[in-house]
Amino acid sequence: MLEARHISVNRGGTLVVRDLSLAARPGEMLGLIGPNGAGKTSVLRALAGLDPIAAGTITYGGRTADEIGRRVLGRTLAYLPQNGRIHWPLPVEEVVALGRLPHGAASVDDAVERAMDAVELAPLRRRSAGTLSGGERARLLLARALAVEAPALLADEPVAALDPYHQLQVMELLRATARAGTAVVAVLHDLTLAARFCDRIALMKDGRLIAEGPPAAVLTADRVGEAYGVTVERGEIGGEPFILPWRRHDRAPDRKEPEA
């Protein structure tokens, strides 16, 4: 289990995350949502061990990053950055195989095959990554993260660059990954996708967690209105919820000045 207790993150002298506690459990998909600037990416980066925390503790199966060591941490969690890039035009399968680096060599093994099959990129395995469309590239980067086969997967806006078909595909895939025993944390902006696919939602605003729980309990009109400054239309199709942001409030939601 990936657990943050009372963490604060300081960026450039500003507290961008304040006293936040969160747990990602194996087999569960946690959606991290909130307006721009709420601190979602900062939380994810701290969970991934990329940025130091100013206060609190983060543990991975009960141990801190220092206790685990950088190398083992690379196998313990997979991190999919926002707007990830592939800087050299490697063949698709070799990009996916980079996910095996924490396990030794970056060779095309069974885990790489599983990851490519999951995102339906196996037919393009020899294609240069430089020739892929934006959506294909996003799926390739997800496959690279899946290939780590880590107990925890942290994905920062994994569907941001995708068309509706592939948004649904990626969300189904993330949920299936969670069902297979991985603790999945995904930063999301689409409230319907968050409501439909996440087991729990953590709603952030101004660096704080303002609500956490099952989607139906967190994504209420009041809370969404408070966080985002919009009214929402809600409903159900086939027993599954949808939430549409419908109208902006007359004025933007109060945003606290960050504390130094």
Partner 1 sequence: MTASPLSHKALIATLCVGVAVLLIASVAVGYAPLDLGAAIADLAAGRQTLPALVLAELRLPRAILGAAVGFSLGITGAALQGLMRNPLADPGVVGVSGAAALGAVVAFYFGFSSAFALALPLGGLIGAGLSTAFLLTLAGRGAGTATLILAGVALSSLSGALTALALNLAPSPYAALEVVFWLMGSLSDRSLAHVALALPFMAVGWALVLTTGRALDALTLGEDAAASLGFPLRRVRLLVIGGTAMAVGASVAVAGAIGFVGLVVPHLMRPFVGHRPGRLLLASGLAGAALTLGADIAVRLIPTRPELKLGVVTALIGAPFFLALLRHLKVDGE
Residues that bind partner 1 (CB under 8 A): 45, 48-50, 70-75, 77-81, 84-91, 94-95, 98-99, 101-102, 106, 128, 130-131, 141, 144, 148
Q: Which is nearer to partner 1, 72 or 244 (CB)?
A: 72
Least distance CB 72 / partner 1 (angstroms) = 8
| Identity of the residue, 4 or 243, whose beta carbon is nearer to partner 1 in the bound complex | 4
Compare residues 103 and 114 and give the one whose CB is closer to partner 1.
103
Q: How long, in residues, is the chain?
A: 260
Distance from CA of residue 50 to its chain's centroid?
14
Q: Least distance from C-beta 2 to partner 1, angstroms?
A: 13
Please report how close the Cβ of residue 75 comes to partner 1 at its closest, in angstroms: 7
| Single-letter amino acid, residue 254 | D
**Smaller CB distance to partner 1: residue 94 or 206?**
94
- The distance of closest approach from Cβ of residue 134 to partner 1 in the complex, given in angstroms and rounded to an integer, is 13
Nearer to partner 1, 155 or 218 (CB): 155
Q: Which is nearer to partner 1, 154 or 195 (CB)?
A: 154
For the bound state, the minimum distance from the C-beta of residue 49 to partner 1, rounded and expressed in Å, comes to: 7
The nearest distance, CB 29 to partner 1, in angstroms, is 19
